[in-house]
Amino acid sequence: MPRLLAAFCALCVAAVFCLAQAGPDRIARADRLKMRETRDTMNSLATDLRTYRDLQREYPATLQDLVTKNMREAVPKDAWGRDFSYARSKESGFRLTSHGADGKEGGEGAGRDIVWGSAGELRELSAEEKDELERTREAARAEACLVVARREMAVVGSAVVKHRAKNGAWPSSLNDLRTPPTTDEERAKDWCFTDPWARSYGYKALDHDNFAVICLGADGKEGGAGADADFVVTELEVRLHGNNDDEEIRWRGGWGGRTQGYDWQVGDLAQGVLKYKEAKGKLPATLEDLLAPDATRNGPVRRELPRTRFGHEYVYLPFADGEFYVVSLGKDGLAGGIEDDSDAISPEPGTTLRPYRDWEEEARPAINVNAELVVVAEEQARDIAAKVQAQKDKGGAYPEALDAIKAEFPGEVIPADPWGNAFQYTLRKDEAGAATGFAVKCLGSDGQEGGDDHAVDFWYDETLTRQPKAPE
């Protein structure tokens, strides 16, 4: 039975950003202004809804809950004076809808529905767009399998090195390293001897006191390109990246540590998969299953599925033997890379993911949630600063406002910080008025100047380093 079950789609999203407006010749100027006013109101409401979710751990049941929690004096109406339609949504967090000029569902031109979700404005995908989305996801799954294979091969290579240290010679085959596993930890390491396509890794002792662990790619044949390409891990690479001892794995982030490619949402999604498995006795087929109302006895595991800070979906790879991985492919969406392009994976191959306990989950929001959100805000601010600097490098001048680089973001929307507040952008100018630098500033959890701990202000400038530096 093939090991890989990830032939399923990751998440059948029913929406993407940026509603294309009908041509101006079909919409009267007065209605165009009302459409713009309605979108501004919906964007403001979306910010309040995200803030409510951060405070209450779920979106409100009704818009009136924003008034009850003193976040709004009253629930606004659209520019035509009608109530918004609102409901929580497992696909997009929530669906906030104005039925346009005619007040009816659907429609064209000024009467077309305007729909908002947690990530921005939504529109339905065409058949061609759905096909393209699935092709994109299939390519991401192929890249994620390469990430898994390289990490597993490092674990196998480590076992080869340890065999040599103990016995004075390289093993004759990888079977010399395997024994029937009896514990979860032993099973996790034994899994690493089989690639994501259900084939054993190859092995060869080399001249000059070296060896190679070999993967033949997705097709299992020598040669090939892309996902079918062959690659190896050698003794030198294993030594450069550590020996996969417990302390080494912790240092690389396998048990919650933070490395250069650290992405806390990868681990959080993996914990959600574990929680589903505990409740259902099986792995979810896709991450979308975590949103199901009956995912656990107490309801869904999650209210929405996050994206990476670069706008990519997380890749979920479930396997027939109960193993699974959640992978983030970095900014480039490809396996491998450094800095922004580095990958993140949970659980770390060769380790057993340790589930949160109920008492830990209860304590976590009050103690750690804002500290974790600071990390997210730092990543967002640095990403915005990098795009500003890239604009300067390309065009010779810093943009006057962040709107000039909005095309670089998913949906052409400059992201807000994790608390729903806009990042502040300022230019530093010389006496002649020429811009010599910039700052992308976050006001912390309180959204106000000053503050301590997670409410402290910080910024990133043209050096792409945090100012002031985070405390040790």
Position 472 in a domain:
no
**Which of 346, 389, 373, 129 minimizes the C-alpha distance to 259?**
346
Residues forming a β-bridge with 439: 426, 461
Q: Write down the pLDDT at residue 105.
A: 87
- In whole angstroms, give the CA distance from residue 196 to residue 157: 17
Q: Please enumerate in sequence order all residues whose Cβ is within 8 A of that of 380, keeping only pairs 6 or more positions apart, or say none.
A: 309, 415, 417, 418, 423, 442
Q: Write down the pLDDT at residue 135.
A: 92
Question: What share of the chain in percent tops pLDDT 90?
Answer: 43
Position 157 in a domain:
yes
Listed residues 95, 124, 153: the one ending a domain: 124
| Judgement on whether residues 185 and 216 belong to the same structural domain of the protein | yes
Q: Write down the pLDDT at residue 45.
A: 93
- In whole angstroms, give the CA distance from residue 14 to residue 117: 11
Query: Does the structure show a pLDDT above 60 at 25?
Result: no
Lowest mean pLDDT among 181-190, 358-367, 459-468: 358-367
Listed residues 290, 321, 346: the one ending a domain: 346
Position 164 in a domain:
yes
Q: Write down the pLDDT at residue 203.
A: 94
| Judgement on whether residues 65 and 104 belong to the same structural domain of the protein | yes
Convert the pLDDT of each residue in 300-323 to its tens digit: 888 777 888 888 899 999 998 789
Position 18 in a domain:
no
| Judgement on whether residues 288 and 184 belong to the same structural domain of the protein | no
Which CATH number does the domain housing residue 84 bear?
3.30.700.10
The more confident residue out of 76 and 1 is 76
Position 236 in a domain:
yes
| Judgement on whether residues 209 and 107 belong to the same structural domain of the protein | no
Residue 127 confidence class, pLDDT cut points 50, 70, 90: confident
Query: Does the structure show a pLDDT above 80 at 347?
Result: yes
Convert the pLDDT of each residue in 38-91 to its tens digit: 999 998 999 899 889 888 888 999 999 999 999 999 999 999 999 999 999 877
| Judgement on whether residues 289 and 326 belong to the same structural domain of the protein | yes
- Please classify residue 119 by burial: count the beta carbons closer than 10 Å to its beta carbon, then call 0-12 exposed, 13-18 middle and 19+ buried: buried
| Judgement on whether residues 190 and 148 belong to the same structural domain of the protein | yes
| Judgement on whether residues 461 and 362 belong to the same structural domain of the protein | yes
| Judgement on whether residues 153 and 171 belong to the same structural domain of the protein | yes
| Judgement on whether residues 107 and 136 belong to the same structural domain of the protein | no
| Judgement on whether residues 369 and 436 belong to the same structural domain of the protein | yes
Instruction: Domain of residue 111: give its range.
Output: 24-124
Query: Does the structure show a pLDDT above 60 at 193?
Result: yes
**Which of 19, 41, 22 minimizes the C-alpha distance to 31?**
22
Position 6 in a domain:
no
Convert the pLDDT of each residue in 235-260 to its tens digit: 877 765 554 454 444 334 333 333 44
Q: Write down the pLDDT at residue 472.
A: 54
| Judgement on whether residues 282 and 226 belong to the same structural domain of the protein | no
> Count of domains in the chain?
4
Convert the pLDDT of each residue in 93-121 to its tens digit: 889 999 999 999 888 888 889 998 886 78
Q: Please write down the HEC assignment for all residues of the chain.
A: CCCECCCCCCCCCCCECCCCCCCHHHCCHHHHHHHHHHHHHHHHHHHHHHHHHHHHCCCCCCCHHHHHCCCCCCCCCCCCCCCCEEEEECCCEEEEEECCCCCCCCCCHHHCCEEEECCEEEECCCHHHHHHHHHHHHHHHHHHHHHHHHHHHHHHHHHHHHHHHHHCCCCCCHHHHCCCCCCHHHHHHHHCCECCCCCECEEEEECCCEEEEEECCCCCCCCCCHHHCCEEEEHHHHHHCCCCCHHHHHHCCCCCCCCCCCCHHHHHHHHHHHHHHHHHCCCCCCHHHHHCCCCECCECCCCCCCECCCCCECEEEEECCCCEEEEECCCCCCCCCCHHHCCEEECCCCCCCCCCCHHHHHHHHHHHHHHHHHHHHHHHHHHHHHHHHHHHHHHCCCCCCHHHHHHHCHHHCCCCCCCCCCCEEEEEECCCCCEEEEEEEECCCCCCCCCCHHHCCEEEECCCCEECCCCC
Residue 444 identity (one-letter amino acid): G
Computed over its alpha carbons, how large is the radius of gyration of the chain? Answer: 25
| Judgement on whether residues 91 and 169 belong to the same structural domain of the protein | no
Listed residues 98, 124, 150: the one ending a domain: 124
Mean pLDDT of 465-472: 79
Convert the pLDDT of each residue in 257-297 to its tens digit: 334 456 888 999 999 999 999 999 999 999 988 878 788 88
Q: Write down the pLDDT at residue 398.
A: 94
Position 424 in a domain:
yes
